[in-house]
Structure formats: structure tokens, C-alpha cells
Amino acid sequence: MKSLIITLLYSVVACESGPINDHQNPMTSDVYNQSKVHVMQDTHQDPTHRDVYNQSKVHMLHDGRHQPEYYGYDSPPCPDAEDIAPCVCTYDSGVNAMNLNCSAVESQEQLKQIFKADFQIKNFREFRIQENNNIKVLESGVFNGISFEIIYMNNNNLEVIELQALNSCYETATKIDLYGNKITSFPFDEVSLFSKLSYFAMNSNSLSVIPADAFHGLTALEDLHIGDNHADIVGTFQDLPNLRKITLYFNTLTTIPARFIQTGSSDLWYIGLDGNNIVSVEFGAIAIVDGGLVIDMTGNSLSTLEEATWRSYLEAGWVLYAEHNPLVCGCDIAWLFGEERLLEQVDNFTKCTDGEYLHDLDPKIFDNC
């Protein structure tokens, strides 16, 4: 969009400056080149250029196809730097987007005050607070109507995300990354309102309960990361038709109940259940998806791989990671050594409790099962 405006600008200036350009004089050419730079950076100070700029805008609007988001503003259309310090606003002309980095913010009060500044443009692309020890609570309404598409708040000391703290982003947020805080409280009831959300990460936080149902119906969601909270995951993950990857590692799952993961997505390729305390996976716990899905059960408490549950997954082409489980390796796993060689879809490092690799077992020992 921006480059289109500039191109138009160039062509209008080129017409008006035609006579100058006719001189094949390197000095004049330099002046011409400079004037273009001047037009780009400082349109409002030169009446001639202002008109040119206005003309190009009119042209854009009559064009019908384009509604330039930053129409009428000097670029970059950031708020005054001193009004938002220590946040830093940057304008990325490549993608015609504005970003706000508030990593140096000193207090919740200051952050709230900053969003009371005069923001001519209310739709930003990125918001960032990273490696910050000063913010513990993200307060309700803190963004004061400013919206973001991508929110990075990582490796801070955030403990509470208040109700409606992110309400200005319901319709804009595609990525919310809250990895690596100390969050104990998050408004899960609002998650389904983020209609474009494709990436949600809340791993390595301090939640005690994760309500899986909160994610139902997020049709754009592709990545869901809520591992390492040592939390009870209650409910089920359903109706997530574009989900590709779900990681639930280091939580407190003990049994995976029927219908636990029924996303309806045919793109699902990774389910991370590692580092829980899983003793059993019920039949029908995870809807079958055809293809090379990887299911990671590393570091759980499985003493067997029940045929009723696992045969259909391996037959569908799934790869099972089962290292660091107390597998007994009796007749109950003989099915893995049958003609279909389903064992080949179990990783090479899984051992029985006696220390022997599953892949090293002699299939003959199951002949009498």
C-alpha cells in the first residue's frame, strides 16, 4: 500500500519536474533525487509537495480498491515518542505496520498512562513486553482501545491477566504468546472471543487448572501450547478444525479420558503429552487422524500399551514416543510384534522396565502368548 502511494507520488513529481529532469546534468539529477526523498519524509512543509501528496491520496480513494490505513498521516504515524516512553513505537514500511515495544516499562500504572497518549492509529501489529520484572498484573482495559495482532509477553513476572485486559484484541489477535511468566490467573472465558487466533502459548506458567473447553470452536487455531504449568487439565479439546500442534507436557494428567482430543482437524501432526503422570489412555481418547501424526508419551507412567487403544493409531500411521515409561513388556504388547510390524512406529529408544530396548526383543518370545 505505502509503496503504491510513493510510486504515485514519484510519477506525479516526475511530471511536474519534467523540465528540470530534461537537463542531463548530474547536479540537477541529484537535486531531483533529493526532492523525492524530501517528498517522502516531509510532505507537510512544502505547499507544492503537499498538493501532490493530496492528489495522490484522492487518486487512491477514487481507485476504490484501496483504503490506505495510514491515509493522511506523515509516516511513520506513531504517537509522539516522549508521550509513550519508555515504550518504543516503530513503523515497518515493508508490511505497512506499526509495532509497540514496552519491554522497558516500569510499572502497571505507567503502562496504563502510556495508552492514554494520543494514538492517531489504533490498529497496531505487534505488542511486546519481554524480560520485564516490573509488571505483575495486566489490568482490565489497559490498552485503552488500541488493538494488536501479535502479542508477545514472554519471560516476565506476570501473575494475573485481568478480565478484559485484552479486550481490544478480540477481533485482531492472531498470536498471543505468554510463554514464561508466573501466571496464576487468566480470563479463559474470553478465549473463544479471539476469532482470528491461530497461535496461543501459555506454557511455563503457574496455572493450577487449565479449562480445555475454553478453546472449543476456535476455528483459526493452529498451535496450542499450555505445557509446563503443573496444572490439572479439565474438559476436552474439541472443534478445533485447523489445529496442527498441541503441547500439554509437564502437567498433571493421569488418565486420558475418552474424547479428550477430538479436534476435527486433518492437519494435526503433533500431540505432546510428555512429562505427565499418565497411567492409561482410554479407547477413543484421541480421534484418529490419518497420516504421520507424532504422539509424544515420553516420561509418563504407562506400564503397557493397550492394543485396544494403540493399534488403531499405529495403523493410521502415527509415530509413538514412549521412552521413560515403566513398560512391563509381557504378552500384553505381543500385538506390536505381529505381521504388520507396528513396532516400527514406536521410537527406537523405548525400553522395558528391565532395561531392554523394545526394538531388541526377540519376537519369538511372544509365540506362546
Ligand X SMILES: *[C@@H]1O[C@H](CO)[C@@H](O)[C@H](O)[C@H]1NC(C)=O
Positions touching ligand X (CB under 6 A) are 29, 32-33, 44, 50, 53-54, 101, 103-104, 128, 319, 347-348
Least Å from the CB of residue 117 to ligand X: 17
Whether the Cβ atoms of residue 60 and residue 8 lie closer than 8 Å to each other? yes
- Residue 263 or residue 350: which is nearer to ligand X going by CB? 350
- Residue 43 or residue 236: which is nearer to ligand X going by CB? 43
- Residue 50 or residue 116: which is nearer to ligand X going by CB? 50
Question: Bridge partners of 302?
Answer: none
C-alpha cell of residue 31? 537535486
Least Å from the CB of residue 213 to ligand X: 33
Least Å from the CB of residue 293 to ligand X: 12
Q: What is the DSSP letter of 155?
A: S
Cα–Cα distance, 243 to 255 (Å, whole number): 22
- Residue 128 or residue 175: which is nearer to ligand X going by CB? 128
Whether the Cβ atoms of residue 198 and residue 174 lie closer than 8 Å to each other? yes
C-alpha cell of residue 262? 477430538
Closest residue to ligand X: CB criterion: 29
> CA gyration radius for the chain?
29
C-alpha cell of residue 218? 476456535
Least Å from the CB of residue 268 to ligand X: 18
Say what the alpha-carbon torsion angle 300, 302, 305, 309 is, to the nearest 10 degrees. Answer: -80
Find cell 478444525 and name the residue: 241
Least Å from the CB of residue 55 to ligand X: 9
Closest alpha carbon to 172 in 122, 106, 211:
122
| CB neighbour list of residue 252: distance below 8 Å, 6 or more residues apart | 230, 231, 232, 233, 276, 277
- Residue 134 or residue 252: which is nearer to ligand X going by CB? 134
- Residue 22 or residue 339: which is nearer to ligand X going by CB? 22
Least Å from the CB of residue 294 to ligand X: 9
